[in-house]
Amino acid sequence: MKYFKWFLKSILFGIIFLFVFNFIGQYINVNIPINIWSILIVGCLKVPGAICILLFNLW
């Protein structure tokens, strides 16, 4: 039960972080696609995961 709660919090954090990042990033033409993989990566790795996805998309 404890891991399930952590997993749901991570997914929720990933979704909110990606929406906020894309909202702010629209002004500088940077975005991260919102799909299940990016949500899971950002949810589990937090900000370093978002940076990795951003670098991968810019490359």
DSSP states of 6-48:
HHHHHHHHHHHHHHHHHHHHTTTT-----SHHHHHHHHHH-HH
Q: Please identify which residue in the block is written with the tokens 């039960």.
A: 1
Determine the angle formed by the axes of helices 47-58 and 36-45, rounding to 10 degrees. Answer: 140
Dump pLDDT digits (tens) for 9-55: 999 999 999 999 999 999 999 999 999 999 999 999 999 999 999 99
Q: CA of 51: how far to CAs of 1, 2, 27, 47, in Å?
A: 30, 28, 18, 6
Quote the pTM value.
0.86
